A and B are shown apart, each in its own frame.
Chain A
Amino acid sequence: KAGVTQTPRYLIKTRGQQVTLSCSPISGHRSVSWYQQTPGQGLQFLFEYFSETQRNKGNFPGRFSGRQFSNSRSEMNVSTLELGDSALYLCASSPRTSGGPSSYEQYFGPGTRLTVT
C-alpha cells in the first residue's frame, strides 16, 4: 500500500505570494493532519480533517487554511507569505473510522520544503 504523498516536495516563493500544498493520504485513511516544522519552534500542529470536516485547528493566523476533498486528499493554503513561513510542512494520515475519540497511529509523508524569500 502506498504511503502518504505530498506535492510539491520543494517550493520557493516570494513574500506576499500565496501557496497551496497537497497531501494524499494512505488509501482508506479518512483523517489528515498538517504540521509545520521549523528549527526554532519544532513541530507544531496546524489542522486536522476528517471526512471533509475540519475537526481541530492549531494556533496559527488566518492566513493558514486548509480543506479536504471527498477522496480524502487534502490541501493547505498559505496566503500573503512571510519569511517566517519558511518551513517543512508535514502531512499525516490515520485510519480513524469516526469523528469520535480514537487512538490510531499517525503516518507521515515526506513533507514539502517551503522557502520564502
Chain B
Amino acid sequence: KQEVTQIPAALSVPEGENLVLNCSFTDSAIYNLQWFRQDPGKGLTSLLLIQSSQREQTSGRLNASLDKSSGRSTLYIAASQPGDSATYLCAVLLEETSGSRLTFGEGTQLTVNP
C-alpha cells in the first residue's frame, strides 16, 4: 500500500527566506507527483506536476524535484512571501488494475511572517 509522508508538519519562517518542503513515498511505481496548495477551508490549487520520467519542474519561485528511485520529492520556494502561507500537499498518482487514485501526504503547514 502506497504511503506518502511530508516533513516537516509545520514550518514558520521570516519573509524572504528560501525553504524546502519534503515528501517521500513508499512505492516508486507512480505515474506522476503533484504539489498542491490549500488555503484554510478551501480547495486544492495545483502548483506543479512532475511526470514519473521527469526530474524537476519549475514555476516562478517554485521548483519541485523528483527522485523516483529513492521515493522522494522536494518543493523549493525561493524568497518566501506572507502570501505563501498555506498548507502544501504532495500527492502521487497510482494506476491500479481497477483505475487510478491520488494518495496524499498529511501536508506541511507553512507560515511566512512579515
Residue numbers of A with Cβ under 8 A of B are 4, 33, 35, 42-43, 45, 48, 50, 54-58, 88, 90, 92, 101-103, 105-111, 113
Closest chain B residue, CB of each to CB of A50: B99
Q: Is the interface of A mostly helix, strand, loop or mixed?
A: strand
Report which residue of A4, A35, A54 has the largest number of chain B beta carbons within 10 angstroms of its beta carbon. Answer: A35
**A58 and B101 form a contact (CB under 8 A):** yes
What CA separation (Å) do A105 and B36 show in the bound complex? Answer: 11
Beta-carbon contacts under 8 Å, B56-114 to A? 89, 91, 93, 95-96, 98-107
Interface size on B, residues (CB 8 A): 28
What CA separation (Å) do A48 and B96 show in the bound complex? Answer: 12
**B104 and A42 form a contact (CB under 8 A):** yes
* B51 / chain A contacts, CB cutoff of 8 Å: 103
Which of B10-18, B19-27, B39-47 binds A?
Answer: B39-47
Report which residue of A42, A54, A57, A107 has the largest number of chain B beta carbons within 10 angstroms of its beta carbon. Answer: A42
Known: A110-B42, A111-B43. A105 touches B100 (CB 8 A): no
10 A-B residue contacts at CB 8 Å?
A42-B105, A43-B102, A54-B99, A101-B95, A102-B31, A103-B32, A105-B32, A105-B34, A106-B91, A110-B42
